[in-house]
Structure 1
């Protein structure tokens, strides 16, 4: 399969996962509910971190608690003390990420529950976590994480919905409404694929020029901007930077010239 095949498969996989949503996140919800946690910290890097950044605001709203997203290195060196009574979730789609494994080792060495999310529960990560959970993406056989980004966002949103229900911040009516909203978002994703293909064809010349690119996004779309900049760097090998909206107008926009993307 090619990368574009996984892009087009995303709404199908997300739809399948939505149909088994309660079962998919049940184990993580049980862990969350049994631990009387006051905060949530997601430890991830690369595309997994970007997906977590997309879902962070939603999780905070659904769970009504502080939710932070940190890299494994930042977690080990600095971001492990506060907040206290926090549930740490380490994410590695491949299950081979050595920095995420190091973060899990730190958790276990310091008597923290070491929960891992992955697409490959048989990968080396299983030897370093107390609990390994499959977030439902399946196997991706291209070099660049594609399907895994959107499916991880969906998984975290579903955890927010059912975790919020368990925590008492979302009632049954709210759960049903949020699941309907997610169903609409999955449909919109399918429409987006067709729209994006047309957009790329219309702008093929600009997108084909190897000029620096800047991607801007706010809130949940900051994670999208991070991922877009990464994919531009990985796939077509151009310098690409991500910025939050206000930070972009605070300086970086001043370097924009007509040749920039």
Structure 2
């Protein structure tokens, strides 16, 4: 069975003369969480932009559900939901109107929408604010709206970029519980975060990028073997891999 997300020999970036990514390759399967980790400037955001279809690969390909973006753009984009690092909302829409817009974009029926929206609003402590304009929300509340919109539509793949920034402790717990639930139900998750202790607890495999190249890829045991650090936590393994990559030792 083909992986849900297949990034194959991807080279890309803003300029063909100076690519950001160099021959990146990894997969994300249904029912697993893959952590995309790296230092600032490693190429994580550029990788995500290529997956979202916002950037054209210089070479290589990205396939979702066996199709490339050009095969069927609408079907491709309905395969995933994206939670960006910085919330992007319409200031003149309320919390509930954002959820309604997401439901319409993914063709949800009204009954499913009402049930899921009510549950998400309660889970993220946003029910009292469902009629508040997004212009009057705090950063953490805006982040919750982005998260709720993604989990409302139940896509095959969740692409989540630094989701814990700005969230309160209850919001973080609700998000982690939701990610564990949808993964158990068969969804795939690609998550980028610097909070490696959390990624280690919930992740199945890891993509370690450094300076636009794939430094390590696999489960924690594979990364430990590559770093020659048996039993070490992901945080220590990651630091060893990227500093070794810099020093060449």
Q: TM-score, length-normalised on structure 2?
A: 0.28
Which structure carries more strand by proportion? 2
Give the structure, 1 or 2, with the largest relative contact order (CA under 8 Å, sep 6 or more). 2
